[in-house]
Amino acid sequence: MPEDLLQNIRPVLLMGPGPSPVCEAAYAALGKPTLGHLDPYFIRIMDAIKEHLRQIFHTKNEMTLTISGTGSSGIEACFVNLVEPGDRVLILANGVFGKRQQDMAVRLGARVDVLDVAWGEPLLPDAVKKKLAGSAYDVVSMVHAETSTGVRNPVEEISPLVKSTDSLFIVDCVTSLGCIPVDVDRWEADAACSCSQKGLSCPPGLAPITLSARAMAKVKGRKSRVSNFYMDMTALTTYWEGDSRAYHHTAPSNMYYALYAALREFLREGEDKVFSRHLDTHAMLVRELGEMGLTLSVAAPHRLPQVNVVGIPEGVDDEQVRSRLLNEYRIEIGAGLGALAGKVWRIGLMGHGARRENVEKLLDAMRRILGR
């Protein structure tokens, strides 16, 4: 018999930029009996997920559902539905995931313009206003919480600028939903998406998404068919809406159970308490890191509490520290991406993981490894 690799999986405290620690309710839900994707009871769970997501996204959008795929599938679904060949698309980019949006739009044959901002700096409303004044765009897209840099972008200030035009507005909330306030309707966002494995404390594999009536009008009025069947919102509507549901794909029902359980945990605790917990643990981490001589690379007003990007001190080996954290202390933190590789660590305080005891474990391990 080959070795049973599952026997050797040991718990790891996930304190990177995702996935985050999974809540016990989600783990328990995964073990429930599998139902078929058109089972009437499973449809009830789908409908409950839709309603819970509307509460957490703060939207009344009818088209609020879950893509059976990871967070990247959510933002790709926004693009494949709302962008047609030849469309003018403006990407507001200040990190890896803004640049990924650019790549998606280019692949769809759009005419893409990019407002590039230095990594570690936020998108500035004045620069966005100037860019919008120069051209007419079909779609404007941005990242709310830039995971690669730890920057919180001011969607609430940029949204009125976009909505003063005729552009559709896409917001990537992959790292923000469940960690900091997301208000889709107040932002007048036409599309927003997230993931299951960060602020919602569920395993990776699902991507919540919501589209406005205006966005759906664009989808239904396209000159060309949506290029991706799996993410076509007109096809998904037949599975997620109405009294009679039609087969679209085999939904991973146990993952939907887990998301349902995780959403209920979030709503049970209450978003105000959840957001306060993220802010409190962030403040504790920043204070204690400062006493160790470590600093965050993002200015305080623009920091994300859930992704803390820490400068690596000169002479310290990035990979060695992360390796020791994992192998000796069973704690995972994230490396820098792109231009920040080898220069920063990304410490996640997300969802169920944003707790004081987790911060204390990490700080104790880092003090031992760094001798500080």
Structure tokens at 24: 């016990």
pLDDT for residue 372: 75
Structure tokens at 343: 């220069």
- Judge if 237 and 361 occupy the same domain: no
Mean pLDDT over the full length of the chain: 97
* Residue 302 domain boundaries: 5-19+269-370
The pLDDT of 227-256, averaged and rounded, is 95
- Judge if 192 and 274 occupy the same domain: no
The pLDDT of 151-172, averaged and rounded, is 97
- The secondary structure element, H or E, covering residue 4 is none
CA distances from 2 to 5, 9, 209 (A): 9, 16, 41
- Judge if 59 and 201 occupy the same domain: yes
- In DSSP terms, 142 is beta-bridged to 92, 171
Structure tokens at 304: 């994300």
- In DSSP terms, 116 is beta-bridged to 93
Report how many domains make up the chain: 2
Can you give the C-alpha Rg of the chain in angstroms? Answer: 21
- Judge if 315 and 235 occupy the same domain: no
Asked if 164 contacts 158 with a C-beta cutoff of 8 angstroms, the reply is no
pLDDT at 227 over 80: yes
pLDDT at 252 over 90: yes
Q: Distance between CA atoms of 342 and 168, rounded to whole angstroms? A: 37
Q: Distance between CA atoms of 34 and 299, rounded to whole angstroms? A: 47
262-271: per-residue pLDDT in tens?
Answer: 999 999 999 9
- Look at strands 191-193 and 168-172 and give their pairing: parallel
- Judge if 76 and 150 occupy the same domain: yes
- Judge if 53 and 85 occupy the same domain: yes
Highest mean pLDDT among 3-12, 127-136, 257-266: 257-266
Q: Distance between CA atoms of 269 and 263, rounded to whole angstroms? A: 10
Which has the closest alpha carbon to 170: 236, 53, 225, 92?
Answer: 92
Task: Give the CATH number, domain containing residue 309.
Answer: 3.90.1150.10
Q: Where is the domain boundary, 239, 267, 295? A: 267
CA distances from 288 to 192, 294, 298, 347, 354 (A): 35, 9, 16, 13, 15
- Judge if 105 and 227 occupy the same domain: yes
Task: Give the CATH number, domain containing residue 192.
Answer: 3.40.640.10
CA distances from 370 to 293, 308, 321, 347, 366 (A): 11, 18, 8, 16, 6
pLDDT band (50, 70, 90) for residue 1: confident
pLDDT at 243 over 90: no
Q: Where is the domain boundary, 221, 250, 267? A: 267
Q: Is the dihedral of CA 150, 154, 159, 161 positive or negative?
A: negative
- Judge if 225 and 76 occupy the same domain: yes
- Judge if 202 and 322 occupy the same domain: no
> Cβ-count burial of 84 within 10 angstroms (0-12 exposed, 13-18 middle, 19+ buried)?
buried
- Judge if 86 and 235 occupy the same domain: yes
Which has the closest alpha carbon to 81: 61, 95, 67, 98?
Answer: 67
Asked if 346 contacts 308 with a C-beta cutoff of 8 angstroms, the reply is yes
The pLDDT of 67-95, averaged and rounded, is 97
- Judge if 98 and 32 occupy the same domain: yes
Asked if 64 contacts 184 with a C-beta cutoff of 8 angstroms, the reply is no
In degrees, rounded to 5, the angle at the alpha carbon of residue 100 between the alpha carbons of residues 205 and 171 is 75
- Which strands, in side-by-side order, build the sheet including 111-116? 63-67, 207-211, 191-193, 168-172, 139-143, 88-93, 111-116
Q: Distance between CA atoms of 182 and 103, rounded to whole angstroms? A: 25
- Judge if 286 and 299 occupy the same domain: yes
43-56: per-residue pLDDT in tens?
Answer: 999 999 999 999 99
pLDDT for residue 341: 94
> Cβ-count burial of 147 within 10 angstroms (0-12 exposed, 13-18 middle, 19+ buried)?
buried
Q: Where is the domain boundary, 216, 251, 267? A: 267
263-310: per-residue pLDDT in tens?
Answer: 999 999 999 999 999 999 999 999 999 999 999 999 999 999 999 999
